[in-house]
Structure 1
Amino acid sequence: MSTKQQDSLFIKAAFSQPTERPPVWMMRQAGRFMKEYWDIKNRYSFLEMCKTPEIAADVTMLPVDLLGIDAAILFSDILVTAEAMGGDLSFTQGVGPRFSNPVRTSDDVDRLETGVVRKLQYVADAIKIVQQRLDGKIPLIGFAGSPFTVMSYLVEGGSSKDFKLTKLMLHNEPELAHRLLAKIAEVTTGYLNLQIEAGVDALQIFDSWASALAWDDYKEFSHTYISKIIAGLNRQDIPIISFCKGSSVFAPLMAEAKPDVISVDWNADLLNVKKSLPAGIAVQGNLDPHILYADKKVIKDRIVKLHERMKGENGFIFNLGHGIMPDLPFDNVKYAIDVIKNELT
């Protein structure tokens, strides 16, 4: 991390240091709710955007320039690791990600490569360009998908509502599942260290589908591997954020992996989660993103209410409980950020 960022609101809050107001950024802040995103997206495929450093940097900078957030997050996708390992990945409008060669047998798992971090150099190149453009103004967050979440896409062959095939593998062939997860975890650790080397100021691990799992399965098939990844990071001065859908339930386990920040979904009372965690672990969240569809008076009331609840607590990063939806009105998102930056003391 650059020494310039040690005094940023975001880094201080991530390390549970006092801040004059909570810093704010939002998951999926550089996305489809912006006209400017579509101006770029209509010219390139999604994977082209991810794999072309200049374009990835352009998209990363949109919320910096248009929203005035306190931290940028690199524009990329959680599935680039799976593609580098040998997944035949495509994105279709209205369908989402697809793998034409799903991973369901022992041979399929054997076929996946692990010495692939060099294939992800385009991400490191994008980080360097973004950092030049940010010029120390705000921190840059890098990220990766958790092994369980990436595994679910590989096994299902894409998005899933019930994760039936993934859960069948966990329950009927746990050794095969562990082999697959271990391979993904190895690549993910190398990939996040590549991002640190390229110059990110913080990292977030996205376990987007953890809420599909029972407690014991989460512990065995997700938490175990996130713990290994965090233990394998060159994390000096780099705060690590752990996010999962289901964090309102899994937060006590998530804390055992020793992240600096736990990002909390909107189902929980944020202060109760904070007080249940070991000292020195910050929380991020946890406004329901659907609030941003509401009238501005409602948006402001909910933001103020959450802030009042967290008042006096060090280690609070204002965010949503999940990502911005594509059809949210841009003006409402901008208004929410302005309220947080200008009206919370």
Structure 2
Amino acid sequence: MENNLFLNAAFSQKTERPPVWMMRQAGRFMPQYWEIKNKYSFLEMCKTPEIAADVTMLPVDLLDIDAAILFSDILVTGEAMGGDLSFTQGVGPKFANPVRTQADIDNLNIDCLDRLQYVADAIKVIQQRLNGKIPLIGFAGAPFTVMSYLVEGGSSRDFKLTKLMLHNEPEMAHQLLAKIAKVTAAYLNLQIEAGVNAVQIFDSWAQALAWDDYKDFSHRYIAEIISNLNRKDIPVISFCKGSSVFAPLMAEAKPDVISIDWNVDLLDMKQRLPQNIAVQGNLDPHILYADKPVIKERIHRLFERMKDTPGFIFNLGHGIMPDIPFDNVKYAIEVIKEYRY
């Protein structure tokens, strides 16, 4: 690998500067993304290896980041299991056949890896294009987050139906989560076999859960997935919205890296975690709307705080918003790459 900064930091080694990649870095804030998006549906983009590779490479070519992340979606596992998935502009993802009964859970297929082969094919194309320049991160949605979309039938503000299943039908909820976890572990291993250099588990809606519910219905299944990964030389990143609360528990699942949101002092959180767990984060993405001197000052403030702390990857506390100016993102990355400890 020409640029090992990301992998070294992920394995808690010292680096001359923090490596940088950003969640949703191959996304809607780039005009070049829209040039592709206007020709194809979102699922066509995900399922056509050459197009997925084109989108994955945009931030590599335009922003010169230290790690690429596969262009895909967290819900492809739910679709492979039998979900009727669609994406509508301005609405988001929808499952036309929500999972709400025992029969619905029984009907989900866990022997479905062949339906995800397009992801492995995309990884091979991307790695040919990266040609050993920087690492490629694969990913999957965490079971609770995927479950919430399957049960609600799409995005939700209050997760009412999902929480009703957790509280009124916990055995059903566990059956559903166990199925998703099994598929997710196999899917991440498929990505590792296809050639990704790291994997991230996204629990995008974990902050909706109370502590005990997070422990029983999320953390337990993430720990199970991580324990089943072929992770030799492959760092595993655990991300959830709410990591400023849940990170000490997340550490018990033994990831290599925990991605931290912006609601906590990053050094304080790092010191509360086992020494061999790196941290990723934790700039508030809204900073990237601000004037350039503010962006620079906030990045430097974070870096000075984390100085002499091995195991730190710069990222946002969540993904880039679609209307953040591209020029601001590019500037932030230039500031990061010029910095030296």
1:280 pairs with 2:276: yes
Structure 2 match to 1:215: 211
* Structure 2 unaligned regions, length at least 5: none
Structure 1 match to 2:124: 128
Structure 1 match to 2:222: 226
1:291 pairs with 2:283: no
For 2:264 and 2:242, locate their aligned partners in 1 and report how far apart those are by CA, in whole Å. 9
Q: Secondary structure at the match of 1:280?
A: coil
Structure 2 match to 1:316: 312
Structure 1 match to 2:28: 32
User: How much has 1:19 moved relative to structure 2?
Assistant: 0.4
Structure 1 match to 2:301: 305
For 2:220 and 2:152, locate their aligned partners in 1 and report how far apart those are by CA, in whole Å. 21
Structure 1 match to 2:325: 329
2:84 to 66, 69, 88: 88
- Output the amino acid matched with 1:247: S
Runs of 4+ in 1 over 6 A off after TM superposition: none
- Output the amino acid matched with 1:202: A
For 1:291 and 1:20, locate their aligned partners in 2 and report how far apart those are by CA, in whole Å. 24
Cα pair 1:307 1:344 within 8 Å, conserved: no
Cα pair 2:17 2:339 within 8 Å, conserved: no
User: How much has 1:208 moved relative to structure 2?
Assistant: 0.2
For 2:72 and 2:315, locate their aligned partners in 1 and report how far apart those are by CA, in whole Å. 19
Cα pair 1:16 1:281 within 8 Å, conserved: yes
Cα pair 1:271 1:310 within 8 Å, conserved: yes
TM-score in terms of structure 2 length: 0.99
1:195 pairs with 2:191: yes
- Output the amino acid matched with 2:34: W
Q: Deviations over 1:61-82 (max 9, x none)?
A: 0000000000000000000000
For 1:215 and 1:101, locate their aligned partners in 2 and report how far apart those are by CA, in whole Å. 30
- Output the amino acid matched with 1:182: A
For 1:108 and 1:232, locate their aligned partners in 2 and report how far apart those are by CA, in whole Å. 26
For 1:88 and 1:180, locate their aligned partners in 2 and report how far apart those are by CA, in whole Å. 16
User: How much has 1:279 moved relative to structure 2?
Assistant: 1.1
Structure 1 match to 2:175: 179
1:269 to 265, 269, 272: 265
Cα pair 2:110 2:182 within 8 Å, conserved: yes
Q: Deviations over 1:201-237 (max 9, x none)?
A: 0000000000000000000000000000000000000
User: How much has 1:343 moved relative to structure 2?
Assistant: 2.9
TM-score in terms of structure 1 length: 0.98
Q: Deviations over 1:111-153 (max 9, x none)?
A: 1000001110000000000000000000000000000000000
Structure 2 match to 1:254: 250
Q: Secondary structure at the match of 1:286?
A: strand
Cα pair 2:16 2:340 within 8 Å, conserved: no
> What root-mean-square deviation, in Å, do the aligned CA atoms of Structure 1 and Structure 2 show?
0.7
For 1:336 and 1:160, locate their aligned partners in 2 and report how far apart those are by CA, in whole Å. 32
* Structure 1 unaligned regions, length at least 5: none
Cα pair 1:144 1:192 within 8 Å, conserved: yes
For 1:118 and 1:137, locate their aligned partners in 2 and report how far apart those are by CA, in whole Å. 29
For 1:132 and 1:81, locate their aligned partners in 2 and report how far apart those are by CA, in whole Å. 25
Total equivalences in the alignment:
341
- Output the amino acid matched with 1:83: E
Cα pair 2:26 2:59 within 8 Å, conserved: yes
